[in-house]
A and B are shown apart, each in its own frame.
Chain A
Amino acid sequence: MPIITVDSDDMKSLIGRKIPDDELRRILPLNKLNIESWDGSELKIEVTPDRPDLFSTEGMARQISSWLGITPGPAKFDIAKPKIELVPSKVSLRPFITCGAVRGVRMDDRMIKSIMQLQETLDLTLGRDRKKVAIGIHDVSRVTPPFYYKEILPNAISFVPLNSTKRMNLRQIIAEHPKGVQYAHLMKGAKKWPIIVDSKNQVLSFPPIINGELTKVREETTDLFIDITGSSDSLVNNSLNILLTALEKRGARIEAVSVGGKLKPDLSPRLMQADADEARKLLGLEIGNKEIVSLLERMGYGASIKKNTIEALAPAFRADIIHPVDIMEDIAIAYGFTDIKPEVAKLPSTGEASRMEEFSNRIRELMAGLGFQEVLNYVLTSKEKQFQRMGAKTEAVAEIANPMLQEYSVCRRWLLPGLMENLRTNKHRKFPQKIFEISDCVIPDNSDTRASSVRKLACLTTHSQASLSEIISILNAVKGNLGVKLETRPFGHGSFIPGRCGAILLGKDIIGMFGEISPKVLGNLELGNPVSAFELDVQKIFDYIVAYAAAKNL
């Protein structure tokens, strides 16, 4: 979630009221603004992604000011008649463009920091790192409208990119300029690339890569032109609304821009209707219609109620209102989350444990009673640890496409390899060591997720005299209590000493094995003492018990 840095003095002055620090500390979280840190006057605030209008000091101040009732109701934005025209044309990589202009901007440090942060955060989050939205801000004094948005061959034009002195064409920028290299992937698949030029063919920008040095915003700049390009009309225009209203909060005057014959921005509020009774019901709050209206006004809405239908006009910078429940949440926020009284629900229900978990708990108690210590291991492991290191044949596993480390690249099929590795870290601890794990493994199959979580039990004992007979007697102690008839027979498996290994059967199915671990495997893990172990598919036993009981009851 984005962290926005704000100057608390700046914020207070934009809110328009002297708010003591602890009051601000109390108010911010009630407006979905969570304080990560507060150092002197530097506030770092975590903002939720549904409120991109709060990615700036200006947006936050507007919200707080509304909520406190200082400036409730819908904000009115004066938009001056257009003086700039942009002529769009087909651009396959970034089909949508919108533009805005502001006059009378006062460049001061705080404002620049806040607006740049807003631009970067919108590009990164809403814009999915410039893929869906990219914002360019220009000093409009050195270029002459009308402006043109089009796509051209990469060598067809060159310009001096921002903060540079060398003239480059688009291909060179992608190859050499740091922003070009960083965002080269966004040019993939297209022969022609986006460009914005003025009437004299001077370049304003090469979206989404970089602006030209020509339109660089300087300390003396007073008039800004904004271009926002991207993959959807609503996304680029929502971003424009957020940016322009933030600039307006700083005292700049918004001027319309004609984009393909349409005037932008459209800052008219958006209507969302909700049922007042439904709102009262969902929130559990006994609030009258008049109160609902005034609460919505404290969230910046224009609102009225006609025949129990709430007509809510959401501000143009709110892109997150897509369902009546979004209005209802805003009503609750305005009401004040600290003022909503928790209520104990009357919903009688019988609690019930998962029978598999209870079965597993009984097995845990059984193993503990036999002197074993439970361990817990990761599901993620490697093929090497699951098979090669254990001298076992490679079997099908669920494999990760994007592992962070090879060590954690597949899901375990069986538990013993994890237990053996636990012994390695306990080499210098006292002996005998008797450990077990009862937990889920992942087995590829034909279920809807093509791999099921399967409960298994594995245990081992290790000390200088660990033997096959020891593990057999432990297995017999466990078998007796499980309530199913399990048979054993001799078995061969690469992890165990030939002739000292057996399979465990439930009916005709092999559901486990036991034996003495082979010296080669002990060597792989640098273990000095013999190990005898068994592993059992608890899932199959449990499923069998359940099926048997169900069949009996029929």
Chain B
Amino acid sequence: MKKSPLALLLTLGLLNTPLSAFAATAPMDLVGPVSDYKIYVTEQLDELASHTRQFTEAVKKGDLATAQKLYAPTRVYYESIEPIAELFSDLDASIDSRVDDHEKGVKAEDFTGFHRIEYSLFSEKSTQGLGELADGLDKDVKDLQTRVAGLTFPPEKVVGGAAALLEEVAATKISGEEDRYSHTDLYDFQGNIDGAKKIVDLFRPQIEKQDAAFIAKVDKNFVSVNKVLAKYITTDGGFETYDKVKDNDRKALVGPVNTLAEDLSTLRGKLGLN
């Protein structure tokens, strides 16, 4: 097929441009969504603080049933903003570390936070001796609120948070390993997904400007994931335990989750952020 010299020239021209073909989003256009995201995170943390207080009160009162009931709905507020919480790795460790992160397992002195309490509530089925852990959790959540209030959110961390949340899901939620004693992983799963979708929604106008087809694909995959999760919503608005998730549903989740992880990993690049 013969090409005209001009077409050849254009092809050559395209081949010579640097591969960063995405025009950077005007920085002023990012100020609105970044600050809206901080407002969202602040609100989520306010909810986390008040729900955690109720949860720890039940624990300290010895009300096992209530504590068990409040465990998962409280965590959702943490899971939705996890990328920001993770910026404070010491707090993330003391609030949300899992037993495998500790060599001495459940006996480890530095194993604190939600999952350590989860172990007592759901595995040992007891609230005995949890007073200090409960107080510690309250304190850590308050600490997190203070630190986030003082943090200027770097825009690339905000936008990158969507991908980070999907990585969380792909690496830990698909297997049901996060809440291994209570099997309430679906709550966390939904929290991660909602948090990621929030970020996409805040930056939607800017993303659409760069790549409308991309945002349509991302939306479709969110719908797929939410559809499967919705199958497991219980009558009281919570979720079934993870062991109830059928194998074919687990597989139905993996595809869109991995695809979302791949797609959202390009978000920063598309918006011209590092």
Do chains A and B stick together as partners? no
Residues of B within 8 A of A (CB): none
